[in-house]
Amino acid sequence: MSTVLVIGAGGVSSVCVHKMAMNPDIFTNIHLASRTKSKCDTIAASVKERTGVDVSTYEIDAEEVPAMVNLIKKIGPELVVNLALPYQDLPIMDACLEAGVDYLDTANYEPKDEAKFEYHWQWAYQDRFKSAGLMALLGSGFDPGVTSVFTMWLKKHKLKTIRQLDILDCNGGDHGQAFATNFNPEINIREVTAPARHWENGEFVETPAMGKKVEFDFEAVGPKNMYMMYHEELESLAKFNPEMERARFWMTFGDEYIKHLTVLQNVGMTRIDPVRYQGKDIIPLQFLAAVLPKPETLGETTKGNTNIGVIATGEALDGSGEKTFYINNICSHEAAYEETGNQAVSYTTGVPAMIGSAMMVTGKWTGDGVFNMEEMDPDPFMDMLNEHGLPWQVKELDGPVDF
Ligand code: NDP
């Protein structure tokens, strides 16, 4: 029995709200608020049609803390689920503290004028959440989120220590567009154009963006080029697994995507600093995002699978020497669309957001303060992945990765 307030009405929110409605024993009352109320209403109408559940909708600018506090107090939820953009993380955390309610998100805070992907802004809320007796759970999407839980499950059940970790994120889906991003284009392009960083011997090593490419044969997708890049869970994984010698993140991109992105970057369209245009300051990347296809419109045409997982090498728990395990999920774009009206990139983020919320409102994951996924017991979360559309598999590999 719980009341939740979800903020944001994009693809991730749509999946999360549908999945919450499919679990009425856990989520009794669902409230949805975002900047554009009509988008909340569209999600609510789809949820009603698919599940029969009513979702209450509201208009809110989540950066207006007093308005957020009023809304939270009016609704009285146990949990605020932040599925807006990373820029809204801190104001929503402020509002949760003031209104006395728990918090969850799927992406770490970012200032609008810097692409940093660092947790320190949100970790700085630790004392305030702790002394208020409230819980904030950071990064309950797929990556970050499931990738962190996968790693900690391996460390609980298979490996005593982790020496090497590689996170492999493959989207084998084809949306039929020359260039489009599968989640918020502004956030996606900021992430991809940032320099690569990986963890090696106790520190982050920075290398040029898209500078390291490897071909990998993904199950249910086939061979794909993947590129080493920075991703925020590397910071929390390194913090909670200090024994790691190396941790890297890889994402697949097709040649067409790289070609378009290179041109856009070369002509300055991915800049995040203001440019004066016709007497007005505009951010080129925000303008680009406005003209690109909206991720939520790609669902109908996207075909194929995602395959996201973790390869970890370390000392086996049973004392049998060094072992390597690969743990992953394969998700079909078509099946995700049929179930929720959204493609698999939104699905693989929205389902873990629902599961993280379920962990909190059912009291399976508790605590006072600000927590990353690595700090929680992976088992109940992993069980729910299997039950709610993101089944996982684990297999032993012959040895460590050779790339
Ligand atoms: P979308 O851009 O599709 O949706 C974002 C929503 O937030 C929109 O409805 C937008 O409103 C709303 N919003 C933006 N600003 C405000 C504001 N000031 N107040 C209230 N609402 C606001 O994004 P996605 O659904 O693709 O992604 C949602 C989140 O999930 C992002 O933070 C993203 O980084 C994260 N993510 C995490 C992943 C993971 O695996 N951990 C993977 C993919 C995404 P409007 O409709 O008016 O624009």
* pLDDT at residue 47, as a whole number: 98
Domain count within the chain: 2
Using 50 as the pLDDT threshold, list the residues of the chain that sit under it: none
- Whether residues 152 and 255 share a domain: the answer is yes
- Whether residues 294 and 216 share a domain: the answer is yes
Give yes or no for residue 138 CB within 6 A of ligand 1.
no
CATH number at residue 214: 3.30.360.10
* pLDDT at residue 296, as a whole number: 82
Residue nearest to atom 32 of ligand 1 (CA): 85
Determine, yes or no, domain membership for 373.
no
Contact 334, 342 (CB under 8 A): no
* pLDDT at residue 117, as a whole number: 86
- Whether residues 246 and 191 share a domain: the answer is yes
- Using alpha carbons, select from 262, 283, 284 the residue that is nearest to residue 210: 262
**267-319: pLDDT as tens digits:** 999 999 999 999 999 999 999 999 999 888 888 999 999 999 999 999 999 99
- 246-252 and 164-171 as β-strands: parallel, antiparallel, unpaired? parallel
- 203-207 and 196-200 as β-strands: parallel, antiparallel, unpaired? antiparallel
CATH number at residue 42: 3.40.50.720
Give yes or no for residue 10 CB within 6 A of ligand 1.
yes
- Report how far ligand 1's centroid is from the alpha carbon of 83 (Å): 5
- Report how far ligand 1's centroid is from the alpha carbon of 107 (Å): 10
- Whether residues 118 and 265 share a domain: the answer is no
**DSSP class of residue 141?**
B
* pLDDT at residue 124, as a whole number: 98
* pLDDT at residue 1, as a whole number: 76
Nearby residues of 330 by Cβ (< 8 Å), 6 or more positions away: 219, 220, 305, 306, 307
- Whether residues 134 and 214 share a domain: the answer is no
Instruction: Output the CA torsion sign for 7, 349, 375, 120.
Output: negative
- Whether residues 130 and 190 share a domain: the answer is no
Cis previous bond, 380, omega within 30: no
Determine, yes or no, domain membership for 120.
yes
Its domain, for residue 9, covers: 3-138
Residue nearest to atom 34 of ligand 1 (CA): 107
**71-98: pLDDT as tens digits:** 999 999 999 999 999 999 999 999 999 9
- Report how far ligand 1's centroid is from the alpha carbon of 84 (Å): 4
- Whether residues 133 and 164 share a domain: the answer is no
Last residue of a domain, one of 80, 107, 138: 138
